[in-house]
A = this chain, B = another copy of it.
Amino acid sequence: MNRMDVTEKIVSAKVAKGIRWEDVAGRVGQSKEWTTALCLGQMTASAEQATILGDIFGLTDEECKWLQVVPYKGSLPTAVPTDPLIYRWYEIVNVYGTTVKELIHEEFGDGIMSAIDFHMDIVRAPDPKGDRVNVILSGKFLPYKQY
């Protein structure tokens, strides 16, 4: 058994039972973004969270233990994603990558925006011309230092 087996079982149960990620997040007591990433095999659960997920998705004890093991992260099957929704994000990185780099360096100097001390919030923004997906990414700035 490995973590991918557990992920596949969770996703299968979700489809079979018609569960919503938002409701899972409510029961876990964390954001829908982090909770979904956890269920999709990218984050690590506490023992309590694992028990709650085991209850929701009908997992065995051993499967619940796997949720508490730090997973090998990376959720995409190819380096350039083929799925159109995910590709648009890759395209943003590709088209705006150097722009993002220039502007963060102009404001903060040499360093990076952390993808670890990081959170994300995805919200619907109603708009008469068509609703929008608004996403807030927040990452701590980590400066390169001299030594």
Measured CB to CB, the nearest residue on chain B to A42 is: B95
- Which of the listed residues A21, A113, A114, A133 has the most CB atoms from chain B within 10 Å of its own CB? A133
Q: Name A's interface SS.
A: mixed
A91: contacting residue among B70, B84, B103, B147, CB under 8 A: B84
Copies in the complex: 10
8 contacts between A and B (CB under 8 A): A33-B99, A33-B103, A40-B99, A43-B110, A70-B110, A72-B101, A90-B90, A112-B116
For residue A55, CB closer than 8 A to chain B, the reply is no
Write out the residue numbers on chain B whose beta carbons fall within 8 Å of the beta carbon of A88: 112-115, 139
Residue contact A115 to B139, C-beta cutoff 8 Å: no
Write out the residue numbers on chain B whose beta carbons fall within 8 Å of the beta carbon of A70: 101, 105, 109-110
Scan A91-122; emit 1 where CB is below 8 A from any B CB, else 0. Answer: 11111111111111111111111111111101
A85: contacting residue among B11, B112, B135, CB under 8 A: B112
A93: contacting residue among B90, B130, B139, B146, CB under 8 A: B90
**Contact A75 to B87, CB < 8 A, known contacts A69-B15, A135-B137:** no
Residue contact B115 to A95, C-beta cutoff 8 Å: yes
A95: contacting residue among B44, B73, B106, B134, CB under 8 A: B73
A76: contacting residue among B97, B132, B137, B143, CB under 8 A: B97
